[in-house]
Chain A
Amino acid sequence: MTATVAIALRVNGELVEANVLPRLNLADFLREHLKLTGTHVGCEHGVCGACTIRINGDIIRSCLMLAVQAHNAAIETIEGVSDSGEIADLQSAFRERNALQCGFCTPGMLMAAQDLLKQSPCPDREQIREHLSGNYCRCTGYQAIVDAIESTARTRTGRWP
């Protein structure tokens, strides 16, 4: 019963078929099997948020999902949303505001931030902090990250002077 299981899923628009062991988590599948190393693995128990990806449009922790559970799902990683240009403005706001230093948390931060901006286009700083509450950054102190997300929200909704 610990044999491999066949899965088929869509990753950043491409169909992927693989045979995986049940114990393999989705983050490791993306990193080790598909070499999509933008998804980071920090705590491996759902606390740090570095492995945040999108599945069927919703953000999730890829360390808390088994690859076998992603059968038939549509996954988007930081590579997908970067290449499509979906978050280009958010990424440049992060650069301009120095919202990253070592960069380890950044892919997860960007996925969580984009999720918030899709659901509520004009969040206040408190809402931004709450939505990012599950994403740890050990470098920046969060202030610059909140700034970058706030300024992206303003630009997107045309509220920037």
Chain B
Amino acid sequence: MKASAFGYARATSVADALELLTAYGERAKVLSGGQSLVPAMNLRLVAPELIVDIGELTELRGVSLKGGVLTIGALTRHADLLKSPEIAAHAPLLKDAVAHVAHPAIRNRGTIGGSLAHADPASELPACMLTLGAIIIARGPGGERRIAANEFFVGIYETALTPQELLVAVELPVIPKSSTHFFQEFARRHGDYAIVGLAAQASIKDGRFADLRLGFFAVGDRSLLAKSASKLVDVAVTSAVLSEAASALDDELDPLEDQQATPAMRRHLAKVLLTRCVSLLLARPDLRAGASA
């Protein structure tokens, strides 16, 4: 289908974009790479009155590293993240995840800010933001707001952003050198939306987790930073410990039903990913029993 008619404004600066958003509020939509918004408009799921195109605000594009913090501009494209040496060195989880975001032609246009503001519960990047403890930076008429990732995602396609605010950047703390990560997802076709996925970051000391952050996605109305991870920290992980953590995880999940999977299937696959993640990160193949999907 084709998008319905709308007005178009090409923002010349962040201030210009904010002025338009303030004037139009919910009647306006921000166009960044357009890889989620344009399909939604073509399918007539959204019909904004005004499109505010921020595509030419090059000051919002790029990755920089300063004082142990990676700052990623909102207009940084998925393809940029894949090629960035800073991301590869200091947030390798994000690099692994981006390789699963859609297909090359879409990664050339889609941006991190667009993906986060869109807040699809099945998308990879929101989960990575939770796992990596990101701060999302928004600018609005009242100035700048710094929002922790775990307060940013509110529901399906819903975030803490107000209609007058523009997501301008995200900040990620540089991961400690000894930290390791795990990223896997189940999808019908490489690059499709995940049926269930897991983005994990961990510190391991003497064969035990000193820290473990498990960001699950496509398991509910938003990504989930699993509290049940704490059951695996500072203990000798045995099959019994792992199965206790898996059942605690099950209590935390509230998966949706769609044409891809039932909630029961998603619960099963989340457990499979948990088991794979723990056995792989701890280099304990003995914990793999029952981890086939």
Q: Are A69 and B53 in contact (CB under 8 A)?
A: yes
The answer to whether A2 has its CB under 8 Å from any CB of chain B is yes
Q: Which of B99-107, B170-178, B241-249 contacts A (4 or more CB under 8 A)?
A: B99-107
* Chain B: number of interface residues, binned into ranges: 20 to 34
Q: Chain A residues with Cβ under 8 A from B31's Cβ?
A: 66, 69
For B99, the closest partner residue in chain A by CB is A130
A-B contacts counted at CB < 8 A amount to 98
Q: Does A97 contact B (CB under 8 A)?
A: no
From A5, A59, A116, A129, B8 is in contact (CB under 8 Å) with: A5
Whether, in the assembled complex, B4 has its beta carbon less than 8 Å from a beta carbon of chain A, the answer is yes
CB <8 Å contact, A69 and B34: yes
Whether B5 and A134, one on each chain, are in contact in the complex, defined by CB atoms closer than 8 angstroms, is no
* Selected contact of B38 from candidates A58, A64, A112, CB within 8 Å: A64
Task: Say which residue of B1, B39, B50, B53 sits within 8 Å of A64 (CB atoms).
Answer: B39
Q: How many residues of A contact B (CB 8 A)?
A: 34
Set A21, A59, A69, A116: member contacting B5, Cβ < 8 A = A21
- CB < 8 Å: which of A23, A49, A69, A133 contacts B6? A23
**8 Å CB interface, A50-68 against B:** 52, 58-61, 63-66, 68
Cβ contact within 8 Å between B105 and A68:
no
Which B167-210 residues sit within 8 Å CB-CB of chain A? Answer: 189-191
Q: Does A121 contact B (CB under 8 A)?
A: no
Residues of chain A in range 34-83 having any CB-CB distance to chain B below 8 Å: 44-46, 49, 52, 58-61, 63-66, 68-69, 71
Kindly report which residue of chain B lies nearest to residue A4, judged by CB atoms.
B8
A61: nearest chain-B partner, CB-CB: B105
Tell me the dominant secondary structure on chain B's binding face: loop
CB of A58 within 8 A of CB of B108, answer yes
Interface flag for B22 (CB, 8 Å): no
Is A1 close to B, CB under 8 A? yes
Tell me if A25 and B102 are in contact (CB < 8 A).
no
Whether A10 is near chain B, meaning CB under 8 Å from some CB there, is: no
Chain A residue at minimal CB-CB distance from B55: A69
The verdict on B79 contacting chain A, using a C-beta distance below 8 Å, is yes
Cα of A6 to Cα of B5 in the assembled complex, Å: 17
> Are B79 and A58 in contact, with the CB atoms below 8 A?
yes
CA distance A39 to B191 in the complex (A): 22
On whether A134 and B104 interact (CB within 8 A), knowing A44-B42, A45-B43, A46-B39, the answer reads yes
- B2 interface hit (Cβ, 8 Å): yes
A123 at the interface (CB under 8 A from B): no
Chain B residues with Cβ below 8 Å from A133 are 103, 189-191
Q: Are A1 and B50 in contact (CB under 8 A)?
A: yes
Given A65-B34, A134-B102, answer yes or no on A22-B109 (Cβ-Cβ < 8 Å).
no
Contact residues in B for A154 (Cβ distance below 8 Å): none
Q: How far is the CB of A149 from chain B (nearest CB, A)?
A: 14
The docked-state distance in angstroms from the alpha carbon of A8 to that of B88 is 37
Q: How far is the CB of B120 from chain A (nearest CB, A)?
A: 13
Minimum CB–CB distance from B10 to chain A (whole Å) comes to 8
Known pairs A25-B2, A49-B105, A61-B106; A68 contacts B43 (CB<8 A): no
Chain B residues positioned under 8 Å from A69 (CB to CB): 31, 34, 53, 55
* B203 nearest CB across to chain A (Å): 31
Q: Which residues of A contact B34 (CB under 8 A)?
A: 64-66, 69
Contact of A44 among B2, B6, B102, B191 (CB under 8 A): B2
Do B190 and A2 have beta carbons less than 8 Å apart? no
A65 CB contact (under 8 Å) in B9, B50, B103, B109: B109
A115 to B109, CA, bound (A): 15
Closest 5 CB pairs of A and B: A134-B103, A1-B7, A22-B8, A45-B39, A58-B108
Q: Which residues of B contact A (CB under 8 A)?
A: 1-10, 31, 34-35, 38-39, 42-43, 49-51, 53, 55, 79, 102-106, 108-109, 189-191
17 other contacts beyond A63-B38, A116-B104, with CB at 8 A cut-off? A1-B6, A22-B6, A22-B7, A23-B3, A23-B4, A45-B42, A46-B102, A49-B103, A59-B105, A59-B108, A60-B105, A61-B105, A65-B34, A66-B38, A69-B31, A134-B103, A134-B106
